[in-house]
Structure 1
Amino acid sequence: MKDNFQRVFELAQKYETDMTQFLRDMIAIPSESCGEQQVIQRIKREMKKVGFDKVEIDPMGNILGYLGHGRHVIAMDAHIDTVGIGNPANWGFDPYQGCEDQAVIGGRGASDQEGGMASMIYAGKIIKELGLEDDYTLVIVGSVQEEDCDGLCWQYILQEDKIKPEFVVLTEPTDGKIYRGHRGRMEIKVATKGVSCHGSAPERGDNAIYKMAPILTELRALHENLTEHTFLGKGTLTVSEVFFTSPSRCAVADGCWISIDRRLTAGETGEFAIKQIKNLPSVQAAKAEVSLYTYERPAYTGLVYPTECYFPTWLIEEDHPVCTLLMKAYEALFHAAPELDKWTFSTNGVSIMGRYGIPCIGFGPGHENQAHAPNEKTWKAELVRAAAMYAVIPQSYVSEYAKKMPKITENLMEF
């Protein structure tokens, strides 16, 4: 395999122009969550063009491209939905027409995270061209609705499509580093109830907004005392939204509720985080209701796949076989030592490893600070390096690391 590393990198460089054009084609297609159909069809055409063995679109709308027919199942994932563009005045160029120079491609989705899809597909072309197939089946996934509800797509893929890979490479942007985890998160609702009355005589009612006031103070104090982890960092809590109900502006509010963005570090479970809030004296005094939000928005196919808005933390250790695999591949390709780090934001790993225990590892073109930002861009050199990495990972895994992997679950995929 070592003899192939140089050839792989040379081919990745050769296909830079193809990757760039394909990425620009994806950027030009608006593909916000639940509106990804056209970009999925564009990806399907590219997968067929470069020679994937099989291409499928599942009932949720995820696209799955297959290479090989071996017994070791490996998956690579890019979510291909994007956020909106925000205020157009903040952009220096059209976010869908995009821009390009010798080094950079600009446009919505360039880093977050259609660049990962471009690199994965051309890794597949390299694998085919160099005959790097082995005793593996590589599944290249373009997942939907991640920006709306991270991990929902993989709940569907694992539970309904019955694909159970031995590990998954996440191609979210990693700033040129290898990422091995991130904090989880929860979307929590706290609600208080009151009794409305005319605002001219507020003593006749029971103001739900006033009941919420001490809860807000105690939540702020709770944030300051959350758990710290040496690698993943601190758990956090912030109140992100405030709502109320009232008959009019001249009345006492009879309902109030807030949304909490809770980030979970290692060792913090969803049950633990909910209990922390329920145990606050102000919550108990107000008899406030504490619950998780749920997500039930239809996919572009019309399918509804409800889930709780709980996205568990995940982390693999430095000596995990999958982490070692990527570090060695990086060194062999680029003749430099990689840097290990973590994502600040959340990824589909919340389901793949957080819910189901399937190891994840991250390496992707682009930078985290470009995500959701105006004038989003990515770097052509990183597309090339990512394609080279993705091309060498499957065969390297089968030849050197598969036997070192712990058994996780019975593989349910039929090909």
Structure 2
Amino acid sequence: GMCWKYLIEEEGLKPDLVVSTEPTSCRLYRGHRGRMEIRVILSGISCHGSAPERGVSAAYKAARAALAMEQLNKDLQPDEDGFLGKGTITVSVMDVKGPSQCAVADYAMLYLDRRLTWGEDADLAIAQVREYISKATGDAPDSFIVEMPNYEKIGWTKKEYSQELYFPTWKLDEDHFLVQSGIDAYETLFGKKPVVDKWTFSTNLVATTGRHKIPAIGFGPGDENQAHAPNEINRVDDLEICAAFYAMLPYSLEARGK
């Protein structure tokens, strides 16, 4: 979503409505969970590997911290209406270092992927990580680092741009005029109501809708569970269905006075 964040915040290009064409299997989607990335840095006290009891192993802290994240993932609760489901957290990278291969490690880093359901935000997620790791390791909550990294990118114009690695959750109520206009368009074309659902993964709508509150829906060809896979396919029939839907949607909006 950084591209849309830049267009909205730096170029002043703010659309009234958005239709994402990410894969939905020609279903009408009205939300998905947000996500963020979290980095945890734990410290230990190094000593010679022949007498590890003289030190404090950051590796063992990291192991306990990773298991704490497994427990946190189990403890996370779904949103109130159950539409988006529960948030998740997983350890995606671990790195442990010490002065040498025959010394107790005094540095450990855990990188976390956190998916955020409705009602969860970055502050809550960071506080949860800090609480669970503190309990698991016995370290004081303020004695280790829990941070949200920045993402930095240089564009083809050599423009440098960055943002925090936080992508807010979004959803529209089913009675929102954009969702209802999408339902109208589908019914007009195909004589039946579409399946109204949500994505499991994240899209650029974290910027347009999660961050900037621009109403959005999703309707696209292909299947979400194949996205980014080496055997991903796209059905020609889906392309025809979606092209017709995109053409009809403005008329459905106009009929509702939008």
TM over 0.5: yes
Letter of the 2:73 counterpart: H
Question: Given that residues 154 and 348 in structure 1 are in contact (C-alpha distance below 8 angstroms), is that contact kept between their aligned partners in structure 2?
Answer: yes
Conservation of the 8 A alpha-carbon contact between 1:295 and 1:308: yes
Q: State the shift of 1:297 in Å.
A: 2.6
CA distance in structure 1 between the aligned counterparts of 2:6 and 2:248, rounded to whole angstroms? 28
Alignment of 1:119-198 (within 5 A): 151-198=1-48
Residue 30 of structure 2 contacts residue 172 of structure 2 at CA under 8 Å; is this kept in 1? Answer: yes
The question of whether the paired residues in 2 share the 8 Å contact of 1:322 and 1:401 is answered with no
- Which residue type is aligned with residue 265 of structure 1? T
What corresponds to 1:282 in structure 2? 136
Amino acid corresponding to residue 149 of structure 2 in structure 1: Y
Q: CA deviation at 1:283?
A: 5.7
The answer as to 2:98 corresponding to 1:246 is: yes
Q: Partner residue of 2:207?
A: 351
Which residues of structure 1 form unaligned runs of 5+? Answer: 1-150, 403-415
Match of 1:203 in 2: 53
Residue in 1 that maps onto 2:173: 317
Q: Secondary structure at the match of 1:361?
A: strand
**3-state SS of paired residue (1:323):** helix
Question: Is 1:298 aligned with 2:154?
Answer: yes
Distance in 2 between residues matched to 1:317 and 1:283, nearest whole Å = 42
Task: Tell me how far apart the structure 1 counterparts of residues 184 and 37 of structure 2 sit (CA, whole Å).
Answer: 38
The alignment's C-alpha RMSD in Å is: 1.5
- Give percent identity, aligned residues only: 49
Contact 2:182 2:252 in 1 (8 A): no
Kindly indicate whether residue 248 of structure 2 is the aligned counterpart of residue 398 of structure 1: no
1:360 CA drift (Å) = 1.0
CA contact under 8 A between 1:278 and 1:284: conserved in structure 2? no
CA distance in 1 between counterparts of 2:10 and 2:164 reads 17
Q: Alpha-carbon deviations, 1:230-254, whole Å to 9, x = none? A: 1111111111111122222212112
Deviation at 1:315, TM superposition (A): 0.5
User: 1:363 Cα deviation (Å)?
Assistant: 0.3
Residues 179/283 of structure 1: CA separation in 2 closer, same or farther (3 Å cut): farther
Give how far 1:284 is off: 6.1
How many angstroms does 1:274 deviate by? 0.8
Q: TM-score, normalised by structure 2?
A: 0.92
Runs of 5+ unmatched residues, structure 2:
none
- Aligned partner of 1:264: which letter? L
> Quick one: which amino acid aligns to residue 206 of structure 1?
V
Say whether the 8 Å CA contact 1:206–1:254 is kept in structure 2. Answer: yes
CA deviations on 1:236-283 (whole Å, 9 max, x unpaired) are 111111112222221211210111111111111111111111222236
What is residue 123 of structure 1 aligned with on the other side? Answer: none
Structure 2 counterparts to residues 214-233 of structure 1, below 5 A: 214-229=64-79, 230-233=82-85
Give the alignment's TM-score, normalised by structure 1.
0.58
Q: 1:261 is matched by which residue type in structure 2?
A: D
Residues of 2 paired with 1:321 and 1:401: CA distance?
Answer: 10
Q: What's the CA shift for 1:303?
A: 2.1
Matches within 5 A, 1:20-169: 151-169=1-19
Shift of residue 195, structure 1, vs aligned partner: 2.7
1:325 partner amino acid: S
Task: Check conservation: 2:30, 2:171, Cα contact below 8 A.
Answer: yes
Letter in 1 for 2:136: S
Report the count of equivalent residues.
Answer: 252
CA distance in 2, matches of 1:338, 1:324: 11
Deviation at 1:177, TM superposition (A): 0.5
In 1, Cα distance between equivalents of 2:161 and 2:257? 35
The aligned amino acid for 2:139 is A
Q: Do structure 1's residue 331 and structure 2's residue 183 form an aligned pair?
A: no
Tell me how far 1:213 sits from its aligned partner. Answer: 2.6
* Structure 1 residue corresponding to 2:217, chosen from 344, 353, 361: 361
* Cα shift at 1:290: 0.6
